[in-house]
Structure 1
Amino acid sequence: MKLTAKVSILAGLLMAVTVTQSYLTISRAENTLRHTEHISQRDTLFNNAVHTMETSFFAYDDQMNMYVLVAKLGNQNALANETYAQALGFEKQFVNALSTAQNVNTTAKAVKLLNDVSQQINAYNTDAQIVHQDVINHRIAQAISMQTVGNNAPSNAIMPLLNQLVQIGQNNLSNALTSVRNNQSAAISFAWIAAVIQLLFVALALWGIQYFAVRPIKTLKTVAEHLAEGNIEDQVTYTSRDELGDLATSFRAMMSYLAEAGKVAEAIGQGNLTVNPAAKGPKDVLGHAIVAMHQRLREVISAMQDMGHLVHGNVTELNDLASQTTDATQQISMAISQTAQATGESSHGLQQIAASMQQLKAAVEQVATGTNLQAEQVQGGEHALNNMKTAQLSVKEAASRMEQLAAQSRQAAQEGRKQVEETLSAMSRIADVTRNTAEAISLLGKHSERIGAIAGTISEIASQTNLLALNANIEAARAGEHGRGFAVVADEVRKLAEQSSQEAKNVSELIRTIQETVQQSVLSMEKGQQEVMTGQALGEETRGALEGMEKAVTQVAGEISVLTETIRTFDIQSEGVDQGIRQISKIAQDNSAAAHEMAAASAEVTDTIQGLAAISEETAASTEEVASTSQHVAESAGALAEKARELSLVASRLDELVSQYQL
């Protein structure tokens, strides 16, 4: 069986186990979820219905009690009818909740309790109808007796029944939760069992992969590592009919091929070129390379034998040529020595002439430097004069701006003095208004005191009226039915008296607050008058300061006018200085140009002489180099003879090495 088929079977089995486990787990989880939802809906509906019955019965009973009380008051037919209608609405809500509970819960105990509740609510409804008929027929006392005493039996029986139903709902919920927990525990246990089975199957699959795939791959890996190290002695014994068996067969063929190539290489290493290697096919790169290497090696050995014979023949001729070269180089060396001596004397004379021209050039450069320095100083003076003129313009502009600022300051001081005078006048008017306001506030305080006295009087009258109303109530109670209307009027008078007393107290509190505010306002107005007086004094001081500033600004304007006139005179004088400096600058520039021309001429002569001296020195150096070269040629000729002898020895050694190979 192929390895692919084995792996496919293992993967299919593993997938089948996983899908089966997942399907069973999901099915059990869905069943548990559906059961939980069913229990949740049933218990929620039942508990909500019982709770609705409790709240609606309480509301029903309260509305019936309210209905009787409203009917007792009389002249409240609309309110009584509305109250009774609300009671019927709660009764209907109770009946609907009871019907819902009967439809949801099917236990025998719950059904019995719900039937009992139905009987009791019917009895209560019957009593409620009797109460309603008594109210319609104006039998209020009988209606109150029926509502408070007659229906005690059904009213007292309903609440215990509802409490038992609440307990049943709680028990049902607890049992449902226990069932859900049991289902969850069973699902968890099943999941653990399925997981263990799946783990066992995975372990079995891993063992199969280890035995049928990993083990032979490790064996082939070890053989491949040994091949990489050059060891071809290992044997591959693994056999199978799958892909790994085919791979083992290929490994054995490769090892056989490498063994044959190793034998050919071993023969070449021993010098035996008589073994002829052969390639396995057109794509055998290594085989073709070994064949080509074997052929090229045979050709190289043959060529080396021929070259050895040629080297032996040429070594003798090379020794003769080296002797002739040594004699010729000695004659060339003597002629070069004479030429070098004459060239040295010529170079010395040219160097003395060049030194004299250097002194002349230095003198001319000093003159040019002095002239340049003078020209630079003149230019510096001209630059300083330009800066001075720029500064004069800046000073002139600053003086002009100072004149404008002085005029503006004088005008601002005058306007400020006028504004201060107007401010003083306005503050005088404010002081008058403040005094008048203080007097008006004081008068308001006196009026508020009178209002407070009036409020106190009203409070006393209200107290007396309240006492009279109480006495009237007492007398009306003594009169019985005949004094009932008078009692109602007395009660209304008492309420009006209490309200009047309360309002009088509120007015008194308001008057006291107004009086405190008036006192604070009087104090604030007095402080305002003091601040106004202080402001008037400061205004007088400010007016005096502005008058002094106006005088000082006038004096500064006069001084600025004198400064402006002085600057104009200085401008006229600086123009004459500027013309003189420009003439001096022109003369200095002419002198500098002449000095530069002389320096350039002397530099050209010096360069020419230095060029001749350099040529002479180069000639001397060249002769020395030629002499040195001839000496080196002589030495090289001797070395060449020595190398020829060494080459002869190498050729002999090469013949010995080539003779070891068998062609």
Structure 2
Amino acid sequence: CQSYGAYADYSSNDYYKKTAESKKAYFTNPYTENGVKMITASYPIVYNDEVQGVITVDINIKNFSQLECDTDKYPTMYVDIFTDDSTFVYDSEDEDAYYGKKLTDVLDAKQYAKIQKGIDTGKSFAVNTRRDNGSQVSRFYTPITAGEQTWWAVSVLNKSDLNKNTVKLVVIMVIISILSIVLIVKMASSQLFKNIKPIEKVVAASQQLRTGDFNIEIRAESEDEIGKLSEAFSDAAGTLKGIIHDLKDVLQQMADNDFAIAPAVEYPGDFESIKQSLFAVVSDLSNTLSEINIVSEQVAANAENISEGAQSLTEGATDQASSVEELQATISNVSEEVGQNAEHARAANEMAQNVGDEITNTNISMQQVVEAMEVINSTSMQINSIISSIDDIASQTNLLALNASIEAARAGEAGKGFAVVATQVGELATQSAEAARNSTELIANTIQAVEQGKNLVDEAAGKLVVAAGKTNDLVENIGKITTASENQADALSQLLLAADQIAAVVQENTAMAEESSASSEELAAQAAKLKELIDVFNLYQGQNQ
């Protein structure tokens, strides 16, 4: 058994890396080290599902030369050993010719395809191929379990030898395979048992630690890494045992109300932070208890003041309750009066709105009268024009009557009858002119009277418009008064509700003041009791750690 040096020197090698990653046994491909052709079998050391290390067994390729290859009956037979990726490990015909080569480098693709097809089955198989010299050979493949890998033992012989005694050849192939397996297993097991035996003590000690038993002593039986591991594990268990016993003593001392602690053992490395944390906890507890002691004295002193204040608060709350009751009665009376004012304001608002509506309707009627007078005035003007026309006709008729009288006078006796008619026509024309003048005077007086009436009506209509505007202002002001009265009524209602709430709060304050007085007396008693309990502790004063 030997060490492979520092961890960094071998941790990246396949025999360690792949075994540690898969947590399974692994056999390397053949390699040469210090002039020796070999393979390495690696076995993981797993504890609590974690890889604690890797045990390796180096196997010299020359050991495979012990396999029986050719015989007198089968002089052409030779044996090959392949890894799971068809790499030559051993060839009995020539150890150096194919060592480390791939089977694909020796056979063409067609022949290798037949072999690969059998390898994929994972079972024993036979295949016929042709060698470089043109001779046909039969290859008998038998799987070899190498950890989690499948290697192959191949017996090869010319078909001419095979046909001599096929059964014997199969038996020989099986024997060779079994011997190969037995040899590999025997060599690996021997080396593995030798390396694992010291580790079993370490595993047993770790199991003992897990159960809380620190009475552990492991003797190193070698000076390699496993021996050093055993010695270091034993020292670590002893240190841990001493620290745990010291912590138990310190905690028992604290349980006995004595916080003036001091460690009895060294706390190496990261354990120093445990000691510092322990002292920090003890210091904080001591400071806290000291502060509690001071506060308990202050609480006892303040409790009496609180009790006196609570009694004064009770008396004041009683006076406040009487004042609040008087305030409630006053607010209730004012609220009723404001409610009545609001009701009267609403009635006045309705009346003012009705008066405004009447004035508006009267104003509309006056406007209609003005329009009728304007129609009368227009019609009178038309009649006056017609009478003027009648007066003109009367003047012309009178002129014609005068001319007819003149012509009748010229006619003499024959024109007397016509003269009478002309005279009558002249009189009618004179009467018509007189009647026209009288009508004109009457119509002129009527137009003047209509104009005066129109002016009066316009003036009255203007006053009605002003009155309607003022009435609207009055309605608006009364509406504002009504709204304000309603708002006041609502505010007084809320004020009354608030007074009720204040009364309830005052009553609660009175009850709470009485309870506070009783609680203060109880608090003083509890503070005295707390001081008695704290005086029992021997507090930590910052001794040398």
The TM-score, its normalising length taken from structure 1, stands at 0.35
- Bigger proportion of residues as helix: 1
The TM-score, its normalising length taken from structure 2, stands at 0.42
- Bigger proportion of residues as strand: 2
**Higher RCO (C-alpha 8 Å, min separation 6):** 1
